[in-house]
Amino acid sequence: MRRIVFETSTTTFFGNRIRSCWGKNMWQDFRTWNDATYIGVRANFAYYFQPRAYFARRRMLQAFDKWVDCDIEEWSEEAPLWNEKWGCRMNWEREALARNFGFTHRGRACSQASFLFVQVSIIITNAAPMATWFILCIIQSDSRLRKFREVVQPLLLPPVKSNPNDLRFDMAKLKEHSYIRGLWNEALRLGSASAAARVVSKDTELEGYVLKRGSVVLLPVRLLHFDEEVFHEPEKFLPERWIYDLPQDATEEQRSLMVQKRQRQSANLRSFGGGTGLCSGRFVAEQEMLSTVSTMLMLFDIELVGDGALELNPRSIGIMSPAKEPRVRIRKRRNPRMI
Ligand code: HEM
């Protein structure tokens, strides 16, 4: 599935030309390189230890060298958004800008390749593992799955053309629901191993530490997510920790403690990074994950096969994938619109 997603989105994004520039190993190269580019891989050195990833990356950049090696003409308004040569108009605009600003040939190739990474790896690196992980988090407990379906089922919208498999949800209500929020936040908290990076722009002293200009600072997401002072029993999957209900007669002190807890938990949940580089797709991600996972779990009974243990691969730059491909048994539910 990842291959299909990669190949269709790459050719949609860059037009079919990218396929002829890259060759038939396009997916294999991207995968080899992407798998090697996990946390901490911020220098060329890592690729010298992983020659396959080194050559895969080289072939990818050579493909983009060829892809940018062409004339740039006016965009025909007959097809305002996409054409065969450039794929999305945005690529043509980026190329024109880079040429105006005197980018080198290789600089332009890298700039285009980095957008392949942003666009495609969002799906391959984050969205697909997150959908898998989110489903696994829910199905690992029968009571959790039941509760999930109890919340989701009343939010189903009437079927289009009386097709019972056409499931659409009232997304606004789904996203607002406190239990669903708890599941989503908890899946993010336990499934992330990203490390947003920032380069220090001037010598700075921070809480007694000297940060030199040019140093790379990483945001330790996993440490934040497992901070025991913020998340009691951090290794446990507890959606309830994100539900901030108080009894009607709660005291001022209880209310203020609850506000503090909420603020600390939110500040510590950093799956989407923070500050100026904060993931601009986070709401899209949430919407697509909730609708995909709700659809899957209403349409199918999904069961983990084997000992049910699930290990995640910490070599990640976002959401971790399972260390070994999980084996699951999937059965179509007789009536997907019922609990
Ligand atoms: C579960 C899914 C996702 C996760 C965990 C995730 C995570 C991240 C992280 C950690 C960053 C770097 C943040 C930083 O440096 O502070 C980022 C950046 C970014 N993400 Fe996401 N992302 C996800 C889905 C998406 C989606 C679906 C889109 C687009 C529709 C998207 C678009 C972007 C963009 C454009 C940036 C760069 C933002 C910038 O530098 O201004 N992401 N994402």
Residues, the chain: 339
137 carries a ligand binding annotation: no
Contact 155, 297 (CB under 8 A): no
**pLDDT, tens digit, for every residue of 177-233?**
999 999 999 999 999 988 788 899 999 999 999 999 999 888 889 999 999 999 999
- For residue 103 the two structure tokens come to 């980018």
- Compute the C-alpha angle 311/316/321, nearest 5°: 40
Which ligand 1 atom is the nearest neighbour of the CA of 289? 1
Higher pLDDT, residue 197 or 80: 80
Which ligand 1 atom is the nearest neighbour of the CA of 123? 27
Nearest CA residue ID for atom 28, ligand 1: 281
Residues having CB within 6 Å of any atom of ligand 1: 118, 122, 126-127, 130, 194, 196, 271-274, 277-281, 284-285, 318-319
- Compute the C-alpha angle 151/134/311, nearest 5°: 140
Q: Determine whether 207 is exposed, middle or buried from the number of CB atoms within 10 Å of its CB (0-12, 13-18, 19+).
A: exposed
Residue 91: per-residue pLDDT: 95
**pLDDT, tens digit, for every residue of 94-132?**
999 999 999 999 999 999 999 888 777 677 778 888 999
**Region 48-68 average pLDDT:** 95
**Region 230-249 average pLDDT:** 95
Helix axes 26-36, 105-121, angle to 10 degrees: 80
Which ligand 1 atom is the nearest neighbour of the CA of 198? 15
Nearest CA residue ID for atom 9, ligand 1: 272
pLDDT band at 45 (very low <50, low <70, confident <90, very high): confident
Q: Could you give all domains of the chain from N- to C-terminal order, each with its CATH number?
A: 2-121 (no CATH), 128-195+224-332 (1.10.630.10)
The secondary structure of residue 275, as a DSSP letter, is G
Q: What is the 285 CA–ligand 1 centroid distance (Å)? A: 9
Distance CA 44, CA 42 (A): 7
DSSP 154-215: GGBPPPGGG-TT---B-HHHHHH-HHHHHHHHHHHHHHB----EEE--S-EEETTEEE-TT-
Considering only CA atoms, which of 214, 175, 220 is closest in space to residue 196? 220
